[in-house]
Structure 1
């Protein structure tokens, strides 16, 4: 009897255990599965969505921030303090993408408790000049001695807090005066980076000053790069956002800039403008807009101003790596103002408006242009004479730039803006219909016999766009 009773108990336990593990393995039908995940996919109105993420942006008063990092119950050992100096720099993936060092920053001196170069304070004092996730920090005295060589005990030196030297930790109770810098992507400090123009599309007459990046892109097409490195905001009178003393709701390169009236003591924001760091193709001194190009019309499936097709039709007139694209109708109306749904508008593909995406099933007719080095846009630029140094009797026609320079010394500028190739009979490389191996301002022009159907290239000549001083030689 006891054995039977024990068997029943064991069987019941096993049955309930199996039931307990059965739920996670149950697969819902697709409709039910979608319903189960529908809550997380609900899209909030813009203002509510922003409010949900507002909490993490609360800034502690500086004294509280200092207390948060100055916990006496968690002091660094001497070994840790030495490791925290600039000899020990952990690099994040962000800084690995063409990193560079920022300017040196010095906002504090050791006259109080020590030298507190807190990253949060540096960001407020130097808006837009330090990336969100620095890869490394380096500290040195104002006389240029590294923190390690200075021999002082450093309390903090990292890319989360910043740099702290406390007077009380030193034998003479006095820190030296330090400055710091950070390793960031080149968009913050590289040689090919610049600040765009200032943009101001809103004023605080409504709920605040909303300089949203999405709205700025629509209003100023082609003038802001796809991934700005930094944002800087100031009032229309030139006062930085930090100096203005108002509570800023957003200031980043994803959303843009938002100052809400309701967050201010007097319920009114100042009027702000913003600018961004971008590759020099957007704002450098030697950058210009090309002429307008229009190769298609919407009579077929839409208006397809493909970059690859434009290059073939207008050889040498569009740079290899345009910085920006701008599109407008043939009557001069911007894409945003035209109000049509655009399928593509970027510097990789070009511009595509599909008839099927429009309410009336018909796109307007568009034209496009690109930002390029000035050599492409006629800013005191001209084409050199034609050069022909090779013929396809061997392995092909090799009009190498290095060889052309040797044969024609001083007649080709150091950095040509563009290359154009044509057959000796005057057909463009695109019209000739052959497969071209190379055609750029680094290598020159190469047509290989083996790449052609008849195993024979035509004979080509090339020329380059250069400053006007080279075209009279």
Structure 2
């Protein structure tokens, strides 16, 4: 054996053997346990170049430019193979570069006469943290149909009807029809589609006079999806017989000390008795905030005063025992 160690690896040279030929060997390595228990974080396979010009250039810099945020800044390992699945080491090509700093380079000019480079693809091993999801998706929501003025999937209405299921500050909004078609495929003119207001398609803005029926979902920080929200009890401290119905957080904390977390994440408001969400009542709201509470003023309503409302707050589960 010409070499057999943990620095170089294994080498058997035919010229050192009495019969002039080595056996075909396989190798394995003993690694620290922490290496084996960690999930391997491999990127996808990348093939950005073909060997029709000077060769096949799958350089790390060009791949990071072509595929932003899909390759870590400092890969730990590289694997190369032909697009047909043959390992780079068995391709027969001479490689000018094959490492985690440069990437893979095969130059046609450096191959044996008459040969050209194979078409290669590469992937990289990254630190485990690189593969851990950084964002998450909510469920798809479809609270409205376009039978009236249009399809209104506003963030306010969705929060009222699906309390605790949308993060306080969404990162992105995704929209498609209930049949799975993209907005661009529908040809509809969209009034609003953002993480502040949500989604609005108005029938009056469409040449056909009618919007498609849409559903939306939001991209949230990963910690939102990893931590369950627990709800307080329902509170109803005020009646609308005076100026309105005032269910402010500061007042409720005084009446119910140590029952509500310091900074609630969500608020859920329903009518007393009928348990209707805010969007059904059609009333004008004065305050609607998980950190302030809820208020409805009689003077803001037309025809009648405020309904009688109850509220509850969504808190981190470490603070409160879920009452549902």
TM-score (norm 2): 0.52
The residue aligned with 2:141 is 199
Conserved? CA contact 1:139–1:147, under 8 Å: no
Instruction: Find out whether 1:288 has 2:233 as its counterpart.
Output: no
Conserved? CA contact 2:233–2:323, under 8 Å: no
Conserved? CA contact 1:142–1:178, under 8 Å: no
Query: Tell me, what secondary structure is at the counterpart of 1:352?
Result: strand
Query: Tell me, what secondary structure is at the counterpart of 2:101?
Result: helix
- State the shift of 1:350 in Å: 0.9
In the superposition, relative to structure 1, how do residues 307 and 230 fare at CA in structure 2: closer, same or farther (>3 Å)? same
What is the Cα-based RMSD across aligned positions, in Å? 5.4
Q: Following the alignment from structure 1 to structure 2, what is the Cα–Cα distance between the partners of residues 174 and 254?
A: 47
Q: Following the alignment from structure 2 to structure 1, what is the Cα–Cα distance between the partners of residues 176 and 292?
A: 35
- State the shift of 1:298 in Å: 2.6
Query: Tell me, what secondary structure is at the counterpart of 1:295?
Result: coil
The residue aligned with 2:262 is 320
The residue aligned with 1:342 is 285
In the superposition, relative to structure 1, how do residues 174 and 255 fare at CA in structure 2: closer, same or farther (>3 Å)? farther
Q: Following the alignment from structure 1 to structure 2, what is the Cα–Cα distance between the partners of residues 324 and 340?
A: 20
Matches within 5 A, 1:297-308: 297-308=239-250
Instruction: Find out whether 1:177 has 2:129 as its counterpart.
Output: no
Gaps of 5+ in 2: 1-40, 52-56, 80-97, 112-116, 127-131, 204-208
Q: 216-225 or 361-370, which moves further after superposition?
A: 216-225
- State the shift of 1:316 in Å: 2.1
Q: Following the alignment from structure 1 to structure 2, what is the Cα–Cα distance between the partners of residues 219 and 323?
A: 16
In the superposition, relative to structure 1, how do residues 179 and 143 fare at CA in structure 2: closer, same or farther (>3 Å)? closer
Instruction: Find out whether 1:310 has 2:310 as its counterpart.
Output: no
The residue aligned with 2:101 is 149
In the superposition, relative to structure 1, how do residues 255 and 110 fare at CA in structure 2: closer, same or farther (>3 Å)? same
TM-score (norm 1): 0.38
The residue aligned with 1:370 is 313
- State the shift of 1:195 in Å: 3.3
Q: Following the alignment from structure 2 to structure 1, what is the Cα–Cα distance between the partners of residues 292 and 250?
A: 7
In the superposition, relative to structure 1, how do residues 359 and 307 fare at CA in structure 2: closer, same or farther (>3 Å)? same
Q: Following the alignment from structure 2 to structure 1, what is the Cα–Cα distance between the partners of residues 245 and 151?
A: 36
Query: Tell me, what secondary structure is at the counterpart of 2:246?
Result: strand
- State the shift of 1:224 in Å: 2.6
- State the shift of 1:369 in Å: 0.6
- How many matched pairs? 241
Relative to its length, the structure with more strand (as a share) is 2
Query: Tell me, what secondary structure is at the counterpart of 1:149?
Result: coil
Q: 318-327 or 278-287, which moves further after superposition?
A: 278-287
The residue aligned with 2:48 is 110
What per-residue deviation string (whole Å, max 9, x for no partner) do you get for residues 47-82 of structure 1? xxxxxxxxxxxxxxxxxxxxxxxxxxxxxxxxxxxx
Conserved? CA contact 2:175–2:215, under 8 Å: yes
Relative to its length, the structure with more helix (as a share) is 1
**Larger RCO of the pair (alpha carbons < 8 Å, separation 6+):** 2
What per-residue deviation string (whole Å, max 9, x for no partner) do you get for residues 188-235 of structure 1? 955xx6533320134577898664435534543554334202334456
In the superposition, relative to structure 1, how do residues 273 and 360 fare at CA in structure 2: closer, same or farther (>3 Å)? closer
In the superposition, relative to structure 1, how do residues 255 and 341 fare at CA in structure 2: closer, same or farther (>3 Å)? closer
What per-residue deviation string (whole Å, max 9, x for no partner) do you get for residues 145-202 of structure 1? 999712679xxxxxxxxxxxxx99xx98978635799xxxxxx955xx6533320134
